Chains A and B, each alone.
Chain A
């Protein structure tokens, strides 16, 4: 799966959580949770959605690596290549 495809999945999951947000304004290096006002409950739902779409279970200990959109995409890309 390419980074572009992963990006699509990530954005789709986020859009479901924050349908009213303006994603054109979201910078790829911004703190996603702050920018989109995603609380800890929504964040867990986001991870569940990623797991469903990509089959990647993200352990709690890795939450700290998932700050910006780029972080999330990079993390998922690494995990996906590692499992293939």
Chain B
């Protein structure tokens, strides 16, 4: 009997809320099927199963309650195994659900937690920092405010409405509102007080945006603090003459309709993947003092979200995809990142990250590695530069590529080999 646990969708996630089941008991599932949606501080993520079988039982119902990573949320009967006789009834099963080991090795601070999944458990109430500040200023009791934001989040407008009502109808018992368990309410931000930027920004954030951003910021903070604390980074940079690859791309794009055009990043992705297959030490993880290079080359792409924050979902098996397939995969990934339909595997499977800040005019990126990965490739803007070659001086479009490497896992020489091969792959662009 396979236990299906709340997955960890990144080094920075320790719990998530179940938004929706896509299956019901008795449904057959295949490896890769999306069976549930989980809300994390990176948005709603679709969760896949990793084996074929039949959904036997679910232990958790959709709610806003945070479920710790590793909690068993369903049982799946592997294909071919007959239905268990005398299996514990759902009632006894529901009583205590224990955590199982985390399926992915990403989380370092897993602690055994016992969760009683529950109707009747207090609902977590979301309050935007701005709403909280205004509530404090106006003396409004947040437990009496009905939120109208995403998932019932309390927004500025809700607090203001409650304050107005309070003035109109003087003291009385709080209006019927769900009881709030103090321990589950998002704690007010510690000093300093909520970012003043929010308070004065005129375009009012969409419902839930403030709360979501706070969560994402915390998640990024946790992962990056861990990276800087644990990973001894080394940095290498190389100037790459892009005239040949860009000329090739221009000629190629002229043959294509606008929808089929390739972006330069696609060449860089493929060239990186090819280089990684020659220097596999940079593709993988560092877990529990062990270097674990991975065979699959899944490149996580740093995608900035317009409302702030960033997500680094992976394109799987980049080395095995054609340039057209990569462009399509990139299209699909960016679309889904922005509309919030990423898959769990895309959030966890990246074996290396690539970040490109050239659009902002940045020439050189000194990346912070996303643990437990061991390297990050940084790409800057392609700029025209004087370029000396064979005793001749010319002007060439030049890209600065950097590698941030984990010095526990690899040494500078490995990183240097990678950049050298990356350059060679780009010069031999027609082979990509």
Residues of A that sit less than 8 Å from B by CB? 18-20, 22, 33, 37, 39-41, 44, 47-48, 51, 57-61
Contacts and interface: CB of A to CB of B under 8 A. Distances in A.
Nearest to A61: B250
A9 B71 CA distance: 50
Contacts of A37: 306
Interface in B218-261: 250, 253-254, 257-259, 261
B118 interface: no
Contact of B253 (A33, A51, A60): A60
B261 A44 contact: yes
Contacts of A33: 359
14 contacts: A18-B306, A20-B203, A20-B307, A33-B359, A37-B306, A39-B304, A40-B263, A44-B258, A44-B263, A48-B259, A57-B257, A58-B258, A59-B254, A60-B250
B258 A41 contact: no
A41 B264 CA distance: 10
B151 to A, nearest CB: 20
Interface string B36-70: 00000000000000000000000000000000000
Contact of B359 (A40, A57, A59, A60): A40
B306 A60 contact: no
B108 to A, nearest CB: 33
Contacts of A60: 250, 253-254, 261
Contacts, number: 37
A41 B306 contact: no
B334 interface: yes
A39 B307 contact: no
Nearest to B361: A34
Given A48-B258, A60-B253, 14 more contacts: A22-B203, A39-B304, A40-B263, A40-B264, A40-B265, A40-B358, A41-B263, A41-B334, A44-B261, A51-B258, A57-B257, A58-B258, A59-B254, A60-B250
A19 B339 CA distance: 13
A44 B335 CA distance: 13
B263 A57 contact: no
A39 B358 CA distance: 9
A22 B201 CA distance: 12
A32 to B, nearest CB: 13
Given A20-B306, A41-B263, A57 B203 contact: no
A59 B359 CA distance: 19
Contacts of A41: 263, 265, 330, 334
Contact of B258 (A18, A39, A57): A57
Contacts of B358: 40
Nearest to B206: A20
A15 B71 CA distance: 42
